Structure 1
């Protein structure tokens, strides 16, 4: 039968990217070459792996079963390559990292140059998603997650924790005044999250000891969008220190209710698959991230 690794990689890439055209771009092939490679694989297996329609590609039942084996074979080969690289104490290959946009921009991006100087043979691929992704489906090696972890199938390592604070710009406060209590706050323009809803519970203590859940005036799924809105004077926001520390230090955002704000912190973790050997690439990046944030405000 003599199935090749290139054929397996082409099949997996077509499935992950959703089209032969997108797969060809990722594999640096022509569309016809990618299509021929996929056809050659199906011919060797004497079965149809993908149904082709005018709008999309769909896995057959045989394709679903074979996809698992193909991924396992590719992972095994990559693992063997990584072990050899680790023996030479030189992590190498592509490392795919996923994080929410604010963490990517405010924490990871400033560290990239230093990491690349230390590990020049690692190729970095960054992707930003505001929600929880399936690491296998998105072909992600390590993801940074903020908040409590629920997925027990993943390894995790704590990076740190970051405190939540209620903030507004000086321009907003000049125009609308400083709210004196929770009742006044509820009447203001509040910037909140469309998902997850739990982020609309603000760490503001009250006489009734009940959590203070806001109803946003402006909603967004992105913490960075909410930060920019707050900086523009659009309203009051509750955000994590890792993305607002510099804004507070330089006076662009001012903390409200400092005495009434409870010390609520969001845990920050690096997660990766439990059922695979930890690659030297993952170890190098997570170790570097932990070392780089040690001693900073959000690492405590």
Structure 2
């Protein structure tokens, strides 16, 4: 179809051959096979000119529509501009402190890209929900998911200068043993909320350093002396191989790997 339309547009086999980087004889043979397959005469040839028949013009209109639809389909699944919705499952902590500051630049680079955030600290069944990517902390279970590293976060213990005694912690069991600790007086399902509770003096909490870097710098929180510092890995995970991802998804993956690491250098902190 593409070669036929080039012949129609260029007006001769030789010009079409030049445009398609083919030989004139190859173009001629291809057009002959096309006419034989369709069972109609698409063009009448003379020594100097090619005249497109009524059947040829009708086929050209259909061929242009088919190729345009194919081009649109390829664009939608990743062979064209970055466009469409990318649904990302992530924690409030990562969304607020890492993703939010870098999102404007991503949106400026790709005006047709849309982002939908599914917020929660718990695991999301990516195979059972319309989720394109997930940002996950801690060890990953064996699965068919592909992963890219987003760095390693220091987990530190902090409290407000005049905070109440008692620990704040998660209301559900975390997979990583680094979160194993004693009884918590106040519990929540979200690390970002726990950090806010500690900032207002409700107790002591273990939290990712990137979540409380600003509070540490302002003196609203302090690192508890002699508390152990452990490390937690972050990953962006997705289903399927990166070479087969739609452009909208692969673009966000690469952007997070480059700009969305949890161990990016930040401003000064105080203990």
Using the size of structure 2 for normalisation, the TM-score is 0.65
Residue aligning to 1:153: 144
Count of aligned pairs between the two proteins: 195
Shift of 1:136: 2.7
The within-5 A match list for 1:244-259 is 244-257=212-225, 259=226
Residue aligning to 1:238: 206
Gaps of 5+ in 2: 1-68, 267-271
Gaps of 5+ in 1: 1-76, 177-187, 203-211
**Residue 117 (str. 1) matches residue 85 (str. 2):** no
Shift of 1:249: 1.6
| 1:118-152 alpha-carbon deviations (Å, 9 max, x no partner) | 11111111111220011132200001001111042
Distance 1:111 1:222 in 2: 22
Distance 1:220 1:150 in 2: 24
Moved over 6 A (4+): none
Q: Which has the larger radius of gyration?
A: 2
2:254 pairs, out of 287, 295, 299, with 287
Distance 1:293 1:94 in 2: 19
Residue aligning to 2:118: 127
| 1:67-124 alpha-carbon deviations (Å, 9 max, x no partner) | xxxxxxxxxx9xx835567444x21111111101111111112211110001111111
**Residue 222 (str. 1) matches residue 190 (str. 2):** yes
Distance 1:143 1:213 in 2: 27
Distance 2:184 2:177 in 1: 8
- Residue 213 of structure 1 aligns to a residue in which SS? coil
Using the size of structure 1 for normalisation, the TM-score is 0.59
Q: Could you tell me whether the CA contact under 8 Å between 1:94 and 1:122 is conserved in 2?
A: yes
Shift of 1:290: 2.1
2:97 pairs, out of 94, 106, 123, with 106
Distance 1:193 1:247 in 2: 20
The within-5 A match list for 1:55-134 is 81=73, 83=75, 86-88=78-80, 90-134=81-125
- RMSD (Å), alpha carbons: 2.7
Distance 1:255 1:249 in 2: 11
1:194 pairs, out of 166, 171, 174, with 171
Q: Could you tell me whether the CA contact under 8 Å between 1:85 and 1:92 is conserved in 2?
A: no
Distance 2:174 2:150 in 1: 24
- Residue 129 of structure 2 aligns to a residue in which SS? coil
Q: Could you tell me whether the CA contact under 8 Å between 2:169 and 2:194 is conserved in 1?
A: yes
Q: Could you tell me whether the CA contact under 8 Å between 2:84 and 2:114 is conserved in 1?
A: yes
Distance 2:150 2:248 in 1: 17
Shift of 1:196: 2.3
Shift of 1:236: 0.4
Distance 2:190 2:253 in 1: 24
Range with greater deviation from structure 2 (154-163 or 287-296): 287-296
